[in-house]
């Protein structure tokens, strides 16, 4: 059970080609999974009335959003199962299994009948599919985040970790581009009849290809060494996250959870916001969402390189602070001047701030856990908080909209961003491994003292991640 994956290799054996192959396998899966994930959110305006008949569009979307949220609440279970698997058997095995489960859930959505065809069975099948996808996505982040950190050169960890979000954005952009294409070639009736199924079929085919790639990926040398040591040492557990690593776990959950609110508002909910609140047509709203996502995706590697240079906590703190400042004014600008050009420009500016947090959060969070606990810790922190804040975001936003209090959603965004900023500053103040210039490994106390709490890179040394005493 404690043997490393057959593809595991030592530091000296991890060639540039093996590193490229492994990174490609990891991030390609992310692109496919988020293509599928965004397809549900983007195409809901077409399939929601087919599966959830209601008197108004908002009511149908609320039912669709509720099913969307169910997938989020199964993420923590997936993170625990796949996190333990990744920490004990290997990142590769966990990532292969998660993409397989995602394939099954995606195919099920593609063949789900309408309410007119199957009655209550239609939403029931969609619910099952979302549960499978929730388990898969919950199990994806921890092994993926750990793998990118362990594969990367020590001075490029923020850049490598930012590749996750680049792939995430690529998947979403392709989802929006497909929506634009199908809107151009199919009528509204055809989209409602069968066009909405196309992205799920394509996602399933892509997931099969990713599964093949992941079977050939390599394990990072840090994990290989950890597996060898773990054969005689204790195994990481969920209990340990909240005992010896409790402060690191709580900070990780706060950073991810608070960042989720801004990301899902500007990257996922923006299309519905433009259509349902600002009167934009669906093609216009899709264009706004696609272009703003492209801005975020292009920014990721640039912000990753910046994080490796000046410190990931510095970049992340600026991002959270920016969200605090612009959330409410940005909404007021869009609501008072809802022209296509104003909506597009405002969305592109607003998305820069969550992009700063997203590009750096992964390497901050993985630095809060030792390798033997990293996939479980990062995965659970991500899944639990995204379930709460991401899974409910559309429902909360639509509820505010229905009550004619939509601005309160952006007040909510402001408050959560302020809390995220405090969490990042806490990591930075304590000068934990992820509070140093990211890309480095754990730091000795002597080196921390010499750094004087700065965000500069220390000399990497072997050692445990953050623990609580007493």
What is the C-alpha to C-alpha distance for residues 382 and 249, in angstroms, rounded to an integer? 10
Residue 185, pLDDT score: 95
pLDDT at 235: 65
pLDDT(123) > 90: no
Q: What is the mean pLDDT of residues 9-30?
A: 77
pLDDT at 231 over 70: no
pTM over 0.75? The answer is yes
Distance CA 62, CA 394 (A): 8
Question: What is the model's pLDDT at position 14?
Answer: 63
Q: What is the pLDDT of residue 159?
A: 93
Contact criterion met (CB below 8 Å) for 213 and 24: yes
Q: What is the pLDDT of residue 431?
A: 62
Question: Please, which pLDDT band fits residue 52 given cuts at 50, 70 and 90?
Answer: confident
pLDDT digits (tens, 9 = 90+) for 319-365: 999 999 999 999 999 999 999 999 999 999 999 999 999 999 999 99
- Check residue 62 and give its pLDDT: 72
Overall size of the chain counted in residues: 470
Within a 10 A sphere around the Cβ of 243, how many other Cβ atoms?
A: 11
- d(Cα 121, Cα 132) in Å, to the nearest integer? 17
Q: Answer whether residue 277 shows pLDDT above 80.
A: yes
Query: Residue 100: CA atoms inside 13 Å, Cβ hemisphere, count?
Result: 10
Considering the domain 14-224+237-451 in this protein, what is its CATH number?
1.20.1250.20
The DSSP secondary structure of 116-177, one letter per residue, reads HHHTTHHHHHHHHHHHHHHHHHHHHHHHHHHHHHHHS-GGGHHHHHHHHHHHHHHHHHHHHH
From the list 267, 269, 414, the residue with the least C-alpha distance to 348 is 267
% the chain with pLDDT above 90: 47
CA distances from 273 to 44, 267, 284 (A): 13, 11, 12
| Predicted local confidence at residue 230, as pLDDT | 53
| Confidence grade of residue 50 (pLDDT, cut at 50, 70, 90) | confident
pLDDT recorded at residue 459: 35
Kindly report, residue by residue over 95-121, the tens digit of the pLDDT. 999 999 999 999 998 999 988 888 888
| 178-196 tens-digit pLDDT | 988 998 999 988 998 899 9
What is the C-alpha to C-alpha distance for residues 140 and 409, in angstroms, rounded to an integer? 29
pLDDT in tens, 413-466: 999 999 999 999 999 887 655 434 433 333 333 333 323 333 333 333 333 343
φ/ψ of residue 313, rounded to 5: -65, -30
* pLDDT at residue 468, rounded to an integer: 37
CB-CB contact of 256 with 385 (8 Å) = yes
Question: Residue 4 to residues 86, 91, 119, 139: CA-CA distances in angstroms?
Answer: 10, 9, 48, 19
- Distance, in Å, from the CA atom of 176 to the CA atom of 42, rounded to the nearest integer, reads 7
As a whole number, the mean pLDDT across the chain is 83
pLDDT greater than 60 at residue 172: yes
Distance separating alpha carbons of residues 136 and 133, to the nearest angstrom: 5
Is the distance from CB of 372 to CB of 87 less than 8 angstroms? Answer: yes
Tens-place pLDDT, residues 77-91: 999 999 999 998 889
How many CB atoms lie under 10 A from the CB of residue 76? 24
In degrees, rounded to 5, the angle at the alpha carbon of residue 350 between the alpha carbons of residues 347 and 362 is: 120
DSSP letter string, 440-452: B----HHHHHHHT
């Amino acid at each position: 059970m404690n043997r490393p994956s057959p593809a595991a290799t030592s530091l000296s054996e991890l060639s540039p080609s093996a590193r490229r192959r492994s990174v490609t396998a990891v991030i390609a899966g992310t692109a496919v999974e988020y293509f599928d994930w965004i397809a549900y959110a983007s195409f809901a305006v077409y399939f929601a009335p087919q599966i959830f008949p209601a008197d108004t569009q908002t009511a149908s979307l609320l039912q669709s959003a509720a099913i969307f949220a169910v997938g989020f609440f199964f993420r923590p279970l997936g993170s625990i199962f796949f996190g333990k698997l990744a920490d004990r058997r290997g990142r590769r095995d966990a990532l292969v299994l998660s993409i397989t489960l995602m394939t099954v859930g995606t195919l099920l959505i593609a063949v789900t009948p309408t309410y007119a065809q199957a009655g209550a069975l239609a939403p029931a099948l969609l619910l099952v599919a979302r549960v499978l996808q929730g388990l898969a996505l919950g199990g994806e982040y921890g092994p993926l985040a750990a793998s990118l950190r362990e594969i990367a050169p020590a001075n490029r960890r923020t850049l490598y970790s930012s590749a996750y979000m680049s792939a995430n954005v690529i998947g979403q952009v392709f989802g929006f581009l497909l929506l634009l294409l199908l809107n151009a070639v199919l009528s509204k009736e055809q989209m409602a009849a069968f066009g909405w199924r196309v992205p799920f079929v394509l996602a399933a085919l892509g997931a099969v290809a990713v599964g093949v790639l992941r079977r050939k990926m390599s394990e990072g040398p840090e994990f290989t060494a950890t597996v060898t040591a773990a054969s005689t040492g204790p195994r990481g557990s969920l209990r340990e996250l909240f005992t010896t690593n409790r402060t690191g776990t709580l900070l990780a959950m706060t950073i991810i959870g608070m960042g989720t609110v801004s990301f899902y508002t500007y990257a996922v909910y923006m299309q519905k916001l433009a259509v349902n609140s600002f009167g934009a047509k669906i093609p216009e709203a899709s264009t706004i969402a696609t272009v703003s996502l492209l801005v975020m995706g292009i920014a990721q590697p640039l912000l990753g390189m910046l994080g490796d240079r000046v410190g990931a906590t510095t970049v992340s703190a600026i991002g959270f602070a920016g969200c605090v400042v612009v959330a409410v004014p940005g909404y007021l600008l869009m609501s008072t001047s809802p022209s296509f050009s104003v909506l597009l420009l405002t969305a592109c500016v607003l998305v820069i701030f969550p992009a700063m947090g997203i590009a750096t959060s992964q390497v901050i969070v993985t630095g809060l856990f030792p390798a033997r606990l990293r996939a479980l810790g990062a995965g659970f922190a991500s899944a639990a908080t995204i379930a709460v804040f991401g899974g409910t975001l559309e429902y909360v936003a639509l509820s505010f909209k229905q009550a004619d209090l939509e601005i309160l959603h952006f007040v909510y965004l402001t408050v959560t961003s302020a809390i995220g900023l405090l969490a990042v500053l806490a990591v930075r103040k304590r000068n934990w491994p992820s509070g140093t210039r990211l890309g480095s490994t754990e730091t000795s106390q002597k080196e921390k003292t010499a750094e004087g709490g700065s965000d500069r890179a220390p000399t990497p040394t072997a050692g445990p991640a953050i623990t609580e005493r007493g």
